[in-house]
Amino acid sequence: MPPAAPPPILVGLGALFLVVIAFVSWLGVSSNDFRKEQAPFVQKFVVDLSKRWDVADVRDRMSVSFIEQADTQPARELLNQFKRLGALKSVQDLELRSFMSMNGKRTGIFAFKGIFENGDGAVRVTITQDGEVVRVQGVSLDAIHLGVEKLQT
């Protein structure tokens, strides 16, 4: 007598499990590629923005919604506060914290410790790539530490 075939539900679950494993593997490779491709873009964007902390210097790399938000009074006041940090001197511990790929559009949140002329801070940059076009969706600076000695003249 031949062995009994596994119940159809087990076959279906096994197939689903294989699909999930393939998807997770693809997502891991895709996010790693995205990180390698876009990390230099992210660093260059923050370097260029921090030279004067003026969005006009990087407007060509910003999304429309980010440009609109940056043109508000609260955003301008925030940028004025960031000016105290000075220019970005180095990037430490750059990582891709979040990654999503859907319908040919890839979005990632990069995070790193930024060492600036007058202090340091935790920097987060959200970017979206749609085809060949890469745009910054937002930038945040958290846990800012200003060096008192450097600020005194």
Q: For residues 149 and 7, which has the higher predicted lDDT (pLDDT)?
A: 7
Fold (topology level) of 38-151 = Nuclear Transport Factor 2; Chain: A, (3.10.450)
Stretch 120-134: mean pLDDT, rounded?
96
Decide if pLDDT at 145 tops 50.
yes
Decide if pLDDT at 78 tops 50.
yes
Within 10 Å of residue 110's Cβ, how many Cβ atoms? 26
| Runs of H (alpha helix) within the chain | 8-52, 64-70, 73-82, 148-151
Q: What is the pLDDT of residue 73?
A: 95
The answer to which of 5-14, 38-47, 99-108, 124-133 has the lowest mean pLDDT is: 5-14
Decide if pLDDT at 61 tops 70.
yes
Return the domain boundaries, the chain.
Answer: 38-151
In degrees rounded to 5, what are phi and psi of residue 147? -80, 115
